[in-house]
Amino acid sequence: MTAVLERASLKHRLAEKGVDRVLWLLLPGAVFVILLFVYPFLYGLQLSFQPKGGGSPFQNYITFFQDDYLAETVWITLWLGLPAALFNVLASIPIAFRMRGRFRGKRALTTLLVIPITLGTVLTAEGLLAFFGPTGWFNRILMALGADEPAKLTHNYWGVLFSLIITGFPFAFLLTLSYLSGIDPTLEQAAATLGASKRQRFRTITMPLLAPGLAVTFCLSFVLAFSVFPSAVMVGNPAGETHVMSIAAYETALRDNDFAMGSAIAMLMALVMLIVIGVVLIWRTTLYRGATGGKG
Amino acid sequence: MSGRFAELHLDQVQRAFGDTVALKGMDLTIKGGEFVALLGPSGCGKSTALNCLAGLLPLTGGRITLDGKRIDDLPPEKRGFGMVFQNYALFPHMSVRRNIGFGLSMRRTGKAELNRRVDEAVRLVQLEEHQHKFPAQLSGGQQQRVAIARAIVLEPPLVLMDEPLSNLDAALRLEMRTEIRRLHQSLGLTTVYVTHDQEEALALADRLVVLRLGEVQQVGSPEEVYAHPVNRYVAGFMGYRNMIPVTVGSQEGEHATVHTEAGVKLVGVKREELGSEAVAAVRPEDFAVVTEIGANTIEAVVEIVEYHGREQAVEARLRDGTQLHVRTNSRLAPGDTITLKVPAERVLVFA
């Protein structure tokens, strides 16, 4: 009996000091994060400052920005990642909006919208090639309708963008749907009884409450799209218009055996992502971020 | 659409959800300036009726007319009825002032006019100190005031309240109840108030509508419904906690003589056409503990005694096992055998 009491009181004393022993369960996770993320990251960071050919520690970074073929990858990747993320977030709003209520076939439709997650980029790329390729269904229909030549939608920018949209949309949609479901529907009803039209309700109630969630959704969608690699190779033009940063890093490190330069490109990739996320999150701080339901 | 109206008419208003009919052909006429309470337990259709009035639920049958003009096909934003929601539904990203001014700004009211009317509403619900706060920084009672101010600032022809006090603690509930009554008396806004609390309904309303399973049971002033419930269901809701199963003996005019299962004879007021089986409804406070067995007396054994200050709430059991609720000033103890007397006009006999 006394042992039990003492044990309870120890737990109590620890809790008083803010120590929760359940949190020790985080330890294995923390070890893995350190081994598999922090260590490789720091290793890559210091490696990037040791250029293969010697010289200034910043030589790799200088080379990157002096070599147009490499420097260009930043814009190429942004030009893919930003529109893809933006499209995915914007497209998921009206669909998520419609999907809030109960209606026949809701589950089937949700499944259909989410299935692309399970496909993986390779299968998506194959499908894109078969559908949008020069002899694919899309072009056959186009030709049958009287087009002079097949539209070029694969092995270029568009192929990669389509692939990013197909694989990225389900994420954006699921996140947006959960943020939207968190908004108390009686708020909109209240706005309606106060004379707000559908459009006014969306603008004054739903959108301000949803925007912080959309910012997060955009960041995650962007990170997914920015690190595009397989589809840029398979349905893009990896030597030209879809020569994205991850391909540049891969080629430099594993084809040219310049790990230091490859690390520098990877670091720059991380930096660009951080800048975009930073800008979005700073904008997010200007929004209302409190509760979106219940008693307000 | 604002200003007073003469008559709001619900004509066979029906609402079904799939196969379940939540509201079965409700007829009701509400006069301008009236305070009407819809009363019933959960699932009786009272909130459905309110949402139908607000336009938040489309009708599946019947019609609603305002001074002869049909309104049930209008969306809520075109009806212009103010509504106070059970969870208040305050906009969490807007200050108290912007919440209250929301309806006015949707109507593109001029800035000076908007500020003047918001000031007035803020003063009316005594929120001057809190007008720049956000809803999350307010207590439940203050949030409730914001919700009421937001609904009445537009001076809507009809204010709808959906159990507005059910989220408040007991003391605050009484205070806000008086507040709502005071607002209604000073502004004269026609109000439809939904509640499951008979005391609240009796205290606030000019007219009560008692609902059960989607059907109107009784419509009348608080006095009428309280004193003359039309059936055993309304009686149960109006404080007739004792429903003693009886067999009907003789009937004479408005009186009926009935017998409990143990054979005790009671005389009561006949409220419905009776068959051979009936219930005798008695309020706990209408029993008097007496010393002598006589007319309309009944013997019971005390089981549980609760001390309530001036009186005691007693649970007693008749010889046939029927449980009785009694409120009395006499000091009783569990195990006591008591004789209870109830005047014939206080016994209501329902089929």
* C-alpha span between A14 and A11 (Å, rounded): 5
Bridge partners for A76 per DSSP: none
A193 vs B77: CB contact, 8 Å cut-off? yes
Per the structure block, which two tokens stand in for B10? 């619900």
DSSP assignment, residue B216? E
Q: Reduced to 3 DSSP states, what percent helix, strand and coil does chain B have, rounded to the nearest 5?
A: 30, 35, 35
Contact A193 B150 (CB under 8 A): no
Does B55 reach chain A within 8 Å, measured CB to CB?
yes
The per-residue pLDDT for A18 is 79
pLDDT tens per residue, range A59-104: 999 999 999 999 999 999 999 999 999 999 999 999 998 888 778 8
Concatenated DSSP letters of B112-150: HHHHHHHHHHHHHTT-GGGTTS-GGGS-HHHHHHHHHHH
Residue type, B180: I
Please report the pLDDT score of residue B2 as a whole number. Answer: 47
Letter for the amino acid at B100?
I
**A135 lies within 8 A of chain B by CB:** no
Token pair listed for B104:
């006015």
Instruction: Provide the token pair at B135.
Output: 């809803």
Residues A82 and A87: their CA atoms lie apart, in Å, by 8
Is the pLDDT at A292 greater than 90? The verdict is no
At B38 the pLDDT is 95
Q: Residues of A with CB below 8 A from B55's CB?
A: 192-193
Domains of chain B: 7-232 (3.40.50.300), 242-350 (2.40.50.140)
Comparing alpha-carbon positions, the chain B residue that sits nearest to A287 is: B93
Task: From residue B119, give the alpha-carbon distance in Å to each of A156, B95, B114, B136.
Answer: 62, 14, 8, 21
Question: What is the chain A residue with the closest CA to B104?
Answer: A194
**For B103, nearest residue in chain A (alpha carbons):** A194
CB B267 within 8 A of CB B344: yes
Backbone torsions φ then ψ of A4, nearest 5 degrees: -60, -45
**Cβ of residue B240 closer than 8 Å to a chain A Cβ:** no
Amino acid at A20: D
CB B335 within 8 A of CB B302: yes
Q: What is the mean pLDDT of chain A?
A: 89
Residue in chain A nearest B154 by alpha carbon: A194
List the single residue in B77, B79, B136 with the smallest CB-CB distance to A197. B77
B chain contacts of residue A190, beta-carbon cutoff 8 Å: 83, 85, 89-91, 150
Higher pLDDT: A112 or A19? It is: A112
pLDDT tens profile A148-207? 888 888 899 999 999 999 999 999 999 999 999 889 999 999 999 999 999 999 999 999
- Using 50, 70 and 90 to split pLDDT, how confident is the model at A17? confident
**Contact at CB, A194 and B106, closer than 8 angstroms:** yes
What phi, psi does B260 have (nearest 5°)?
A: -75, 170
Nearest to A292 among B80, B92, B134 (CB): B92
pLDDT for residue A63: 93
Place of tokens 């070029």: A152
What number is the ipTM of this complex? 0.84
* Contact (CB, 8 A) for B260 and B242: no
Alpha-carbon Rg for chain B, nearest whole angstrom, is: 24
Instruction: Estimate to the nearest angstrom the gap between the alpha carbon of B17 and the chain centroid.
Output: 24
> What's at B130, amino acid-wise?
H
A196 touches chain B (CB under 8 A): yes
**Number of H helices and number of E strands within chain A?**
15, 0
Per-residue pLDDT of chain B (351 residues; tens, 9 = 90+): 446 788 999 999 999 998 899 999 999 999 999 999 999 998 899 999 999 999 999 999 999 999 999 999 999 999 989 999 999 999 999 999 999 999 999 999 999 999 999 999 999 888 999 999 999 999 988 999 999 999 999 999 999 999 999 888 888 889 889 989 998 998 889 999 999 999 999 999 999 999 999 999 999 999 999 999 999 999 998 989 999 999 998 888 888 999 988 888 899 998 888 888 899 999 999 999 998 888 899 999 999 999 988 888 999 998 888 899 999 988 889 999 999 999 998 999 998
State the Cα–Cα distance between residues A105 and A114, nearest whole angstrom: 14
**Tens digit of pLDDT for each residue in A203-251?**
999 999 999 999 999 999 999 999 999 889 999 999 999 999 999 999 9
Task: Report the gap between the CA of B30 and the closest CA in chain A (Å).
Answer: 19
Site of tokens 């003009």: B69
Domains of chain A from N-terminus onward:
67-285 (1.10.3720.10)
Q: Given a cut of 90, is residue A280 above it in pLDDT?
A: yes
Q: Cβ B55–A193 below 8 Å, yes or no?
A: yes
Non-local (6+) Cβ contacts of A184 within 8 A are A292, A293, A294, B87, B89
